[in-house]
Structure 1
Amino acid sequence: MPDSAIETALAHWAPRMIQNGVDYNDLMATTSRTRTWADWLPQWNRAADEQAGFARQAEAEGHVRTAGQAWLRASVNRHFGKFVWMLDLDLAAEATRRSVTESHAALARLDPSGQHLEVNMPGGTAYANLRRPSGIDVPPYVVLIPGLDSTKEEFFWFEQSFLDRGMATVSLDGPGQGETGLSLPLRPDYETAAGPLLDLLAARTDLDHARIGVAGVSLGGYYAPRVAAHEPRVSAVAGISGPFCFGHMWDDLPPMTRQTFVVKSGARDDAEGRRIALTLDLTGVCRRITAPALYVTGERDRLIPWQQTQRQADETPDGTFVCFPEGNHGVSNLPSRARPMIADWMADRLGAASGRRC
């Protein structure tokens, strides 16, 4: 039997993995041969390597799109292998770098509009992926924000929901996240990354800077409203399964989630991790949001209680709360309902249909 950490990971994140591009057959084959948590990343690396090999074969045969799809599967397999896996930080960091490289290979073959951005921010450099919808000259755009250990490499299909509705997407790895997190620890004031990103984008003439959205998932659901409260350029914000105060749930979080927070925050131990987690607090922040805000969660969320997300909505002047009775964390078990609803709401607020066509 697999150990309890594997059972916890699958119970919490299996729907999310599939929603974000892990092939169901890869999930079944990989987990069936993984007996201990220590073997989780090595086995997912094996699955990613198999997809990367298939990508190279397809490329050699001239099947570029097939190669791009395989590179995408390799990237998400490797990403979810090191997701909240803190047993060997060097191995996890190498998986991060390889997942980024594989994601770049996928974008180059699947979406020629894709660009990798470097953002100068206090303390170092953040990284983002920009994608633009086809056939629209100057689209509005949405900054997509990952959570505690999710990354922009997880967002290809999330991005597609917005792209299909005429919005560009900019998926950001902020402090503590993905390739940015290899050198910068997480911090509660996420606007220190989002603000410089908007400054960088402001020089572009192929984006509509009067129509900017922000959307975040999980801990990104804390970051997104915080950005909206501090950044007047934001026209609409959506938070998905976000906490009001991350530290208030500390004792009820899975041990692997707490350990991940300790590592990503640069804390010395669990006690210091708790103290830092308590600084991720939206008290007095949501009241400052002037843009329309949508807060979405699931009643069966076992990581972030739905009441935490509801409090965000209650304290936001123009806040709307949607709770799916059957939904889990991130409503990732209902992607055909939640994602279109969120993207439609954002498109309506940003007037995406009015973007100038090429």
Structure 2
Amino acid sequence: MVMGSSTIEKTMLTSFLIGGFWDRWIANGIPETTVYELRQRVNSLEDWIRILQKHADVYEQRAVCNLNQHLVEEAENFYRLAGMHYNLIQWMFPETGDQKRGWYQRCKDMHEQADRLVKDEIMNVTIQVEGNNCYGRIRVSERLKGCVIIINPIDSSKEELVKYEGYFAGMGFVTVSFDGPGQGETYAFNQYKATRQRWDLFVDAVIDFTALQFPGLHLYLFGTCLGGAWTIQGSSHPKVCRTVSVSPVIDGDTRVPDYFQERLLSIIDDSKSGLLLRMESFDYVCPILLVHGRKDTIVQGDYIYDLYTKLPMDKRLIQYVDEGHGCNYKIDAILKAAGDWYLSDTR
């Protein structure tokens, strides 16, 4: 029996019944044609793997074909697409093991092929938290206007959000993205689970590491969902200049789907402590841009407004009337607004 099989079944059922399940994956690169096939033909984990692997193979072949024709940008995009499909396979396994690690490695392989095709320098790096390796990516663009640290949602990986790093790199920012405790490569290969204390240590470690690597650049934070909450936590760090937080999930009236709650039990070491931050006071945080979708069913609007009122005066709130949690279909506009917010830093 596959570890976490009941959670896998519940996740697949949710993906079949609820269209909003797919918003994040579509926004981050999974084509709607793949989504349609998964929703129509998946009856088992084997179906899920078979369909995604089939599409990944096609995209890898297209990448090779385009590379042979010296169409480098197109080849990069197809390698990224193949990687996203492998990422969605490994993501389905809530608990780490040989299968999750194997599919994750295929995801990494595709992104490494794509990394070789970009002009920017891309480095794989590690930091240590409590003696455990946490794995990250750094992308250095040709123009250096600042450095954006991307804090990913708890059930995401750095590979899922490569679109973000590409956008910020195009604006002239260095990007730094790590898998923290319970996330991505750090969990899959090291079995290092999450707690609130470990995430507190992790966020500080990422900021300190980045400040040492790029001492002449202003540091900015960007995060969504639970990652958005931890960017607010990181905003109190003296080396952070500005922050963007999208749909931050902080302790309060949150409504998390059942399948997601079960997935969290696999990656959290102390389920009683959870991962939600308790924002009781803001003695100091840097300027923060909050982004909220008015149709968010996980983070309620009243809660966001209460959070906003507690922030210092240098702040901004962007709301999208038709967006849900994560504002996935406005991500291009959000990334642009984030870049403008960072560049408005006059220090």
TM-score by length of structure 2 reads 0.85
User: Greater shift after overlay, 92-101 or 37-46?
Assistant: 37-46
CA distance in 1: counterparts of 2:308 and 2:97, whole angstroms: 37
CA distance in structure 1 between the partners assigned to 2:306 and 2:47 by the alignment:
39
User: Is 1:276 paired with 2:276?
Assistant: no
- The DSSP-based 3-state class of the residue aligned with 1:235 is strand
The corresponding residue for 1:344 is 340
Secondary structure of 1:283 counterpart? coil
1:84–1:149 CA contact under 8 A, matched in 2: no
Corresponding residue SS for 2:292: strand
**DSSP-derived class of the 1:51 partner:** helix
Residue 110 of structure 2 corresponds to 102
Partners of 1:3 and 1:180 in 2: CA distance: 24
Structure 2 gap ranges (5+): 1-10
Q: Of 221, 226, 247, which aligns to 1:219?
A: 226
SS in 2 for 1:295: strand
What is the match of residue 3 of structure 2? none
**Deviation for aligned residue 1:30:** 3.9
Q: Report whether the alignment pairs 1:169 with 2:204.
A: no
Alignment partner of 2:194: what SS? coil
Q: In structure 2, what is the equivalent of residue 237 of structure 1? A: 243
Give secondary structure in 2 for the equivalent of 1:76.
helix
> Which residue in the other structure is 2:131 paired with?
123
Cα pair 2:195 2:269 within 8 Å, conserved: no
Change (3 A) 1:239 1:114: same
Flag the 1:87–1:186 CA change in 2: closer, same or farther, 3 A. closer
Q: Give 5+ residue unaligned stretches, structure 1.
A: 268-272, 352-358
Cα distance, 1:175 vs structure 2: 1.1
Q: Does 1:228 align with 2:235?
A: yes
Tell me the residue number matched to 2:265.
262
Q: Distance in 1 between matches of 2:46 and 2:230?
A: 31
Note the 1:1-358 alignment, pairs <5 A. Answer: 4-8=13-17, 11-36=19-44, 39-59=47-67, 63-83=71-91, 85-86=93-94, 89-134=97-142, 136=143, 138-182=144-188, 183=190, 184-189=192-197, 190-204=199-213, 207=214, 209-229=216-236, 231-245=237-251, 248-249=253-254, 252-266=255-269, 273=271, 275-277=272-274, 280-284=276-280, 287-318=282-313, 319-349=315-345
Assess if the C-alpha contact under 8 Å between 1:241 and 1:306 holds in 2.
no
Cα 1:342–1:39 shift into 2, 3 Å: same
Q: In the alignment, residue 163 of structure 1 is paired with which amino acid? A: A
Deviation at 1:61, TM superposition (A): 5.5
1:259 partner letter: E
Q: How many residues align?
A: 333
Per-residue CA distance 1:75-98 (angstroms, 9 max, x = gap): 112223343543885423322222
Deviation at 1:215?
0.9
SS in structure 1 of the partner of residue 128 of structure 2: strand
Query: In the aligned structure 2, how far is the partner of 1:304 from the partner of 1:38?
Result: 34
Closer/same/farther in 2, CA of residues 112 and 283 from structure 1, 3 Å limit: closer
Residue 148 of structure 1 aligns with an amino acid whose one-letter code is: I
Name the SS of the counterpart of 2:29 in structure 1: coil
Give the Cα–Cα distance (whole angstroms) in 1 for the partners of residues 105 and 169 of structure 2.
Answer: 26
Residue by residue, what CA displacement relative to the aligned partner does 1:116-152 show, whole Å, maximum 9, x if unpaired? 1111222311111111232x2x431010011121111
Following superposition, the deviation at residue 303 of structure 1 comes to: 3.0
**Whole-Å separation in 2 of the counterparts to 1:92 and 1:312:** 37
Q: Using CA pairs below 8 Å that are at least 6 residues apart, which structure has the higher relative contact order?
A: 1
Paired residues of 1:221 and 1:239 also in contact (CA < 8 A):
yes
Contact residue 253 and residue 303 of structure 1 kept, 8 A: yes
Instruction: State the Cα distance separating 1:320 from its structure 2 match.
Output: 2.7
Distance 2:92 2:176 in 1: 24
Structure 2: distance between partners of 1:117 and 1:126: 9
Q: How many angstroms apart in 1 are the aligned matches of 2:57 and 2:321?
A: 38
CA contact (8 A) 2:247 2:290 kept: yes
Q: TM-score, normalised by structure 1?
A: 0.83
CA drift of 1:282 comes to 2.5
Q: Do the aligned residues in 1 keep the contact of 2:211 with 2:219 (CA within 8 Å)?
A: no
Is the contact made by 2:120 and 2:141 (CA closer than 8 Å) also made in structure 1?
A: no
Deviation at 1:153, TM superposition (A): 0.7
Q: Secondary structure of 1:244's match?
A: coil
- Name 2:8's counterpart in structure 1: none
Identity of aligned residues (%): 18
User: Residue 123 and residue 30 in structure 1: after superposition, are their counterparts in 2 closer, same or farther (change >3 A)?
Assistant: same
Counterpart amino acid of residue 242 in structure 2? A
CA contact (8 A) 1:12 1:302 kept: no
CA RMSD of aligned residues (A): 2.7
SS at match of 2:175: strand
On the 8 A contact 1:30/1:47 being kept in 2, the answer is: no
